[in-house]
Amino acid sequence: MDSEKKTGIARREFIEISAKSAAAISLASLPALSGCVNSENSKTVFGACYHDCPDRCSWKVTTKGDKVTEFAASADNPYTAGNLCAKMARFPEDVTFHPDRILSPLKRNGPKGSGTFVKISWDQAIGEVAGRLRKIIGQKGGEAILPYSFGGNQGLVQGKAIPNRFFAHIGASQLERTICGNAAVAGVLATNGQTTGVLPEDIVHSRYIVLWGTNPIRSNQHLWPFILKAKRSGAKIITVDPFQSETSQEADWHIQPLPGTDTALALGLMHVILAENLQDQDYIDRYTTGIAELKAHVQKYTPEKVAAITGLEKDLIIEFAREYAAATPSVIRVLIGMEHQVNGASAFRAVAMLPALTGAWRHFGGGLMHMTYELFGEALNWESANLPPSLSEQTTRSINMIKLGKALNNSDLNPSIDALFVFNSNPAVTTPNQNLVRKGLSRPDLLTVVSEHFMTDTARYADYIFPATSVLENWDILSSWGTPYLNLNEPALKPLGESKPNSELFRLLAREMGFQEEYLYLSDLDIVKNVLDSNHEYMKGISFESLRKEGGQKLNLPAKWMPHASGNFKTPSGKCHFYDPNLAQAVPDYIPHLYSEADSKQYPLQLLTLKTPKYLLNSSHANVAHILEKEGTFYLEIHPGDASRRGISDGDPLKVFNQRGEVLINARVSKKVTEGVVCMPHGFWPSRLKGGSSANALTDDLLTDMGRGGAIQEARVEVSKA
Ligand SMILES: Nc1nc2c(c(=O)[nH]1)N[C@H]1C(S)=C(S)[C@@H](COP(=O)(O)OP(=O)(O)OC[C@H]3O[C@@H](n4cnc5c(=O)[nH]c(N)nc54)[C@H](O)[C@@H]3O)O[C@H]1N2
Ligand SMILES: Nc1nc2c(c(=O)[nH]1)N[C@H]1C(S)=C(S)[C@@H](COP(=O)(O)OP(=O)(O)OC[C@H]3O[C@@H](n4cnc5c(=O)[nH]c(N)nc54)[C@H](O)[C@@H]3O)O[C@H]1N2
Ligand code: SF4
Ligand SMILES: [Mo]
C-alpha cells in the first residue's frame, strides 16, 4: 500500500510543531517598497539563497532599471562572508535572465513527455486548471490530488505558507516530504531530543573534527574555512566516508568503510571505549540513561566483527576509538549524506551517542554538530507560515514522496492519483526509481501541473506549466537548517515576463475555485512581517526594518552556545538516550538490507549516486550550458580491480544496469571507491544524457529504518562496456 499515515517527524514539520504559539496577525502599515535607493533608477536590496543548502548565503543585489548591475555575497553575514559558491555566482544570467526561462503559462499540445506546448494566458490556464481540479474533487474527492514539492525554494512564503494552505483546504493527499533529512533527524532526536548541537562557527574551537558522512568542501562550503582555521590551531581532521570525496582528500585521516555500515562502526567504537574504560563516567551518570543496556549490547560489536562488516582493519577501529575518546574538544559533524541507507537513521542515532559517552559536550566546540532549524522554530512567529488551526489536524491520507512512482502506477489506490501538482521540485530527475516515476508521469489520464523556471524533465510531462518568479523577483523570509542566520529576501526586480510567485499562483487558483477563507489570501509581505513579529529573546535586535537595512542577521543566542554541557537534552527524560524501550530497536543495531542470492550475483556492485557536481544543486542548474561544460562527462568511478575483471579501461563507455534501469556513462578508473563499490554523480537531467536515463534510474524506493526517508544509496548494479 502506498497510502501511508505519517509516523515520523519531518524536519520541516518539526519546525511547525516547535513553533511557539503566535500573537495575532498585525498587519502594520507597509513602508514604501523601493529598497535602498542609490541614485536615480538604481537600488540595492538584500536577499538570500533559496536553495536546499545548509549555508543559506546572504547577498546584495544592485539593479538599474530592469537590469542587475551587481550580484554578490553580502559581507555583513560573517559566516558566508563575501563568497557565494560556484553554483550561484552567476545566478542572474543562469536563472533569472536565462533565455530558456519559461515566462508565460503553457499548455501541452503534443504527446506527454514530448515537451511541446503552446503559450496561453494566465486567465485561461487558471480557469482550466481550476475547472479540472474542481471536477476531480467532485468525482473522487480532494485526495485524488497530490501536491509534489520539496526544497527547490526554501523560503517560508514561496515554499510553504500559501501552497500548503491551498492543498490542505482542498483536502488533497498529503505528501510525506522525507527525501532529505528525515532519517538523519529521527536518529539524532532519538538520542538527544534535538539536532541543534555545536554551531558551525564554533567548530574553530574543536581540536578533533570528525566529518562523518559529509563533504563540506562541496555541500557545505562555508563551513570549510572554519574547519581550516581549527586545523591551523592544531585540529586533526578525520572523514568517515565510503567515497574519497574532495573533503576526504584534504583530511588528515580518511576512514573508508563500506556504505551503510556506520551503525556497526559507531557501536564498535563504543565497544572499545567501554572495554578500555575511556568513557566519561561522571557525564554518563549525570546526564544519560541506558548505559547498562548499551554496554551489554555493544559486547557483540567487537573490533573483529566490526572489521568484517565495515571492511576496515580491526586495529584502525581501535585506534580511531582511542583517539576520539582522548581528544578535547572533539566534534562529530554529521549532515545528510549518510542517511540514505536502510540503516540510515540508526547510524545517526548511534553516532549521536558518542559525544555523551566521552563527555565531549562539556567543552566549547565539543559534541555533535548537525542542524539549526530548531532555533528558528523557537524564534519566529509561525502563525501565518503554518496551517491555520482549522486545517492543522488534517486527516487526509499521506503518500510518501520516495514512492511517487509506485503511487502513480498503483491501480489499487483508492482514490487513484488523478492530478499531480509539482512545484519546487524536479521528481523525474531527483526521485528514486526514475523509470517508474516517468511511467506514472506518462499516464494519459493524469493531470500534471508544474510550476517552474525551466522546461525540466518533469515539466516536459506537464499538461499545464506556470511560470514561477525567481528569488530576485519575490519577497520571502528564509530561516536556515545549517546556520543561525535569518534572512529577508527583498525583490530586486519586478517579475519577468508573466511569471508569478508560487504564492500568487495558489491565491489565483483559490479565487477561481470560489474559496472565501482569508487564510488563503495573505499577501507575501504580510506573511513576511507576521513571521518576524516575535518577542522571543533570539529575535532581540532583529526586525523587518533591520533585516532590510543590514541583510542577514544572526539570532541573538548566548555568546557560548553549549547546549548539553550540563545535560539538558530535549528527550522526554531530559537525558541522552543510549537506550529507548519505546523504539523498535531499543538500542540501534546493524541490520543490512538482504538481497536474494540471485540478485547479489547478478548485481554485485554497490552504487552510490552522490552530490559530487560542483556546479549543480541537486538537479538545479543542470540545464545551463557553461555549467554542463564545466561539469564535463557523466562518469562512473570504478575501482581498478572491478574494472580489470570486466575488461574496462579509463574513459571507456559503459552500461550500468539493474532490474530497474540502465545508464550510459564513461568509466573513471580510480581508487576513490573501494572494490565492490561504484559511484556516479546525481543531478544530471536524463533528457540531456546519452541513453536518456540518469542516476535515479538505478536507485530503489526503499525506506529508511526510521523517519520514512529514502534509502537511495541502497542500490546494486552490474557494469559492462557499452
Ligand atoms: N554542490 C552541491 N552542494 C549541495 C548539494 C548539491 O546537490 N550540490 N545539495 C544540498 C543538499 S540538498 C544537501 S541534503 C546537502 C547534503 O550534504 P552532505 O550530507 O554533506 O552531502 P552528501 O554529498 O549527500 O553526502 C556526503 C558524503 O556522504 C557519503 N556517504 C554516502 N553514503 C554513506 C554511508 O553509508 N556512510 C558514510 N559514512 N558516508 C556516506 C558520500 O560519499 C558523500 O561524500 O548538500 C547540499 N549542498
Ligand atoms: N540519487 C540521488 N537522488 C537524490 C539525492 C542523492 O543524493 N542521490 N539527494 C536527494 C536530496 S538530499 C534532495 S534535497 C532532493 C532534491 O530534489 P528536488 O527538491 O527535486 O531539487 P532540485 O533538483 O533542486 O529541484 C528543484 C526545482 O525547483 C525549481 N524552483 C526553484 N525555485 C522555484 C520557485 O520559486 N518556484 C517554483 N515553482 N519552482 C522553483 C527549480 O527550478 C528546480 O527545478 O534530491 C534527492 N535525490
Ligand atoms: S547554494 Fe549554498 S553555498 Fe551556494 S550560494 Fe546558495 S546557500 Fe550559498
Ligand atoms: Mo537534500
> What is the set of domains in the chain, with CATH numbers?
197-370 (3.40.228.10), 597-721 (2.40.40.20)
pLDDT tens for each residue of 610-667 = 999 999 999 999 999 999 999 999 999 999 999 999 999 999 999 999 999 999 999 9
* Statement: residue 182 has pLDDT above 90: yes
- φ, ψ at 468 (rounded to 5°): -95, 150
Cα→Cα distances 212→243, 248, 253, 283, 304, Å: 12, 10, 12, 23, 21
> Is 377 in contact with 14 (CB distance < 8 Å)?
yes
Average pLDDT over residues 266-290: 98
Residue type at 264 in one-letter notation = A
The ligand minimizing its distance to the Cα of 243 is 1
Q: Which three cell numbers stand for residue 29?
A: 502599515
Strand 58-64 and strand 67-73: the pairing is: antiparallel
* Statement: residue 14 has pLDDT above 50: no
Q: Is the CB of 500 under 6 A from ligand 3?
A: no
* Statement: residue 559 has pLDDT above 90: yes
Atom 12, ligand 1: which residue's CA is nearest? Answer: 52
Q: Which three cell numbers stand for residue 32?
A: 514604501
Q: Cα(131)–Cα(142) distance, rounded to whole angstroms?
A: 13
Q: How confident is the model at residue 80 (pLDDT cuts 50, 70, 90)?
A: confident
Q: Cα(559)–Cα(541) distance, rounded to whole angstroms?
A: 15
Q: Cα(649)–Cα(200) distance, rounded to whole angstroms?
A: 42
pLDDT at 37: 63
Residue indicated by cell numbers 563575501? 82
How far, in Å, from the CA of 308 to the mean position of ligand 4? 31
What secondary structure letter does DSSP report for 613?
-
pLDDT at 8: 34
* Statement: residue 10 has pLDDT above 70: no
Q: Is the CB of 51 under 6 A from ligand 3?
A: yes
> Is 502 in contact with 392 (CB distance < 8 Å)?
no
Helix H, strand E, coil C: the string for 191-229 is HHCCCCCCCHHHHHHCCEEEEECCCHHHHCCCCHHHHHH
pLDDT at 35: 54
Cα→Cα distances 61→47, 199, 346, 453, Å: 7, 28, 43, 20
Listed residue (390, 326, 385, 405) closest to 148, CA to CA:
405
> Is 199 in contact with 459 (CB distance < 8 Å)?
no
Q: Is the CB of 152 under 6 A from ligand 2?
A: yes
Residue indicated by cell numbers 498587519? 27
* Statement: residue 13 has pLDDT above 80: no
Atom 5, ligand 3: which residue's CA is nearest? Answer: 84
pTM of this prediction?
Answer: 0.95
The ligand minimizing its distance to the Cα of 249 is 1
Residues 6 or more apart whose CB falls under 8 angstroms from that of 625 comprise: none
Q: Is the CB of 468 under 6 A from ligand 2?
A: yes
Q: Cα(657)–Cα(529) distance, rounded to whole angstroms?
A: 51
Listed residue (82, 50, 68) closest to 492, CA to CA:
68
Residue type at 353 in one-letter notation = M
Question: What are the pocket residues of ligand 1 if the criterion is a CB atom closer than 6 Å to any ligand atom?
Answer: 52-53, 87, 180, 212-215, 218-220, 240-243, 245, 259-260, 262, 335-338, 341, 608, 610-611, 614, 616-618, 683, 713
Q: How many CB atoms lie within 10 A of CB 487?
A: 28
Listed residue (453, 446, 499) closest to 113, CA to CA:
446
* Statement: residue 69 has pLDDT above 80: yes
> Is 342 in contact with 260 (CB distance < 8 Å)?
yes
Q: What is the mean pLDDT of the chain?
A: 94
pLDDT tens for each residue of 520-543 = 999 999 999 999 999 999 999 999
Q: Cα(577)–Cα(586) distance, rounded to whole angstroms?
A: 10
pLDDT tens for each residue of 356-400 = 999 999 999 999 999 999 999 999 999 999 999 999 988 999 999
> Is 188 in contact with 348 (CB distance < 8 Å)?
yes
* Statement: residue 40 has pLDDT above 90: no
pLDDT tens for each residue of 83-123 = 999 999 999 999 999 999 999 999 999 999 999 999 999 99
pLDDT tens for each residue of 236-260 = 999 999 999 999 999 999 999 999 9
Residue indicated by cell numbers 547498562? 292
